[in-house]
Amino acid sequence: MKNVAYLCMDAAEMKTKIVFSEKCLNYGGWHIEGPQRVKMAHEILKEKKYAFLEPTPASEEDLLKVHDAEYIWNLKKGLVEDADTPAYDNIFEHARLSAGGALLAAKINGFSLMRPPGHHAGRSGAALGVYTRGFCYLNNVAVAVKALGKPALILDVDGHHGNGTQEIFQGDEKAVYVSLHRYPHYPGTGTHSEGNCLNFPLLADCGEQRYLETLDKALGMVDVGRFEVVAVSVGFDTHLGDLASLGLTESSYKEIGKRIGALRKPTFFVLEGGYMGEKNGRDIDQLLSGYEEKL
Ligand code: Q9C
Ligand code: ZN
């Protein structure tokens, strides 16, 4: 019976939904982590007929499952500037909406196309002894995983190590964190695996073949059956020429998507980095079309 209903669904219904709010474009025009990277991606995905859903801000209760009250308080007051991460007006509200995007993506197994990103933000700001928060304020993916409260595999394919996410989930029996990232590179953490955090440092521009071999090895080390959900921190700054380039191209993201789909678990995606807007849009489409091949 299940199969019958399934055959009647049309292609549009099977497409992963995108969580997006125009509000995330209203700040920070001059920084590399600026509105363009998400605006252009949104336009491309609109043309490709994706469906969009508007997030609502994460509640303080949701944030406090991940971050210290004192850090949240400072963020509210705007006292959180560092060399990479500006204290924009109303940054707390922007960050709260981005965290809300991750929460909604988790609920509908969608893709949160929101900014600011989150994976460098630890419990009380900069994580694991790193000096900056790398454009991050609240750890969006962590907020969503903690709200679900389910055993989760967190896969981080941004080109930078998610030191914040590692700090938050280190020793958490319900979660395994797997990250592939460029090293040596910012933030300088993630050189080796520790307990439930599996790290795979890769050299600059290592290329698709090396990347996919490593991803297969990493996923092969995880007992996927243990988990009820896969949370993907997805950055496209691994794209050739981007900030943490590993020499990947559009078609590489389709291959990554296929491997995520093959895990056959409820999955959601949260945008981290990726600083070339037009490429982000096409890379997201490729990632999701590879992921949806499981159907
Ligand atoms: N000041 C994300 O992709 N670069 N963040 C620092 C030395 C910071 C990247 C260079 C890169 C942060 C979400
Ligand atoms: Zn990054």
> Which atom of ligand 1 is nearest to 119's Cα?
13
Token pair in block for residue 262 = 């093959």
Q: How many CA atoms lie within 13 A of 84 on its CB side?
A: 17
Taking the centre of ligand 1 as the mean of its atom positions, its distance from the CA of residue 159, in whole angstroms, is 10
Q: What domains are defined for the chain? A: 16-294 (3.40.800.20)
Residue 61, classed as helix, strand or coil, is helix
Q: With a 6 A CB cut-off, is 242 part of the ligand 1 pocket?
A: no
Distance 191 CA to ligand 2 centre (A): 16
Model confidence, pTM: 0.96
pLDDT tens-place string over residues 179-238: 999 999 999 999 999 999 999 999 999 999 999 999 999 999 999 999 999 999 999 999
Residues whose CB is less than 8 angstroms from the CB of residue 260 and which lie 6 or more positions away in sequence, other chains included? 155, 230, 232, 267, 287, 290, 291
pLDDT tens track, the chain, 295 positions = 445 555 566 665 689 999 999 999 999 989 999 999 999 999 999 999 999 999 999 999 999 999 999 999 999 999 999 999 999 999 999 999 999 999 999 999 999 999 999 999 999 999 999 999 999 999 999 999 999 999 999 999 999 999 999 999 999 999 999 999 999 999 999 999 999 999 999 999 999 999 999 999 999 999 999 999 999 999 999 999 999 999 999 999 999 999 999 999 999 999 999 999 999 999 999 999 999 998 6
Half-sphere exposure for 212 (CA within 13 Å, toward CB): 15
Question: Per-residue b/e over 87-97, b at no fewer than 16 CB within 10 Å?
Answer: ebeebbebbbb
Mutational pocket test of ligand 1: of 132, 158, 161, 276, the residue with most ligand atoms within 8 Å of the beta carbon = 132
Using CA positions, which residue lies closest to atom 10 of ligand 1? Answer: 186
Residue of 67, 119, 120, 239 marked catalytic: 120
Give nearest CA residue, ligand 1 atom 5: 134
Tell me which residue has tokens 């389910």: 150
Q: What is the pLDDT of residue 6?
A: 56
Query: Is 94 one of the catalytic residues?
Result: no
Residue 12 confidence (pLDDT): 59
Q: How far is the CA of 141 from the centre of ligand 1 (A)?
A: 18
Q: Find out whether 219 and 257 touch, Cβ atoms under 8 Å.
A: no
134 lines ligand 1 (CB under 6 A): yes
Distance of alpha carbon 165 from alpha carbon 82, whole angstroms: 19
Neighbours of ion ligand 2 (CB under 5 A): 158-160, 235, 237, 273
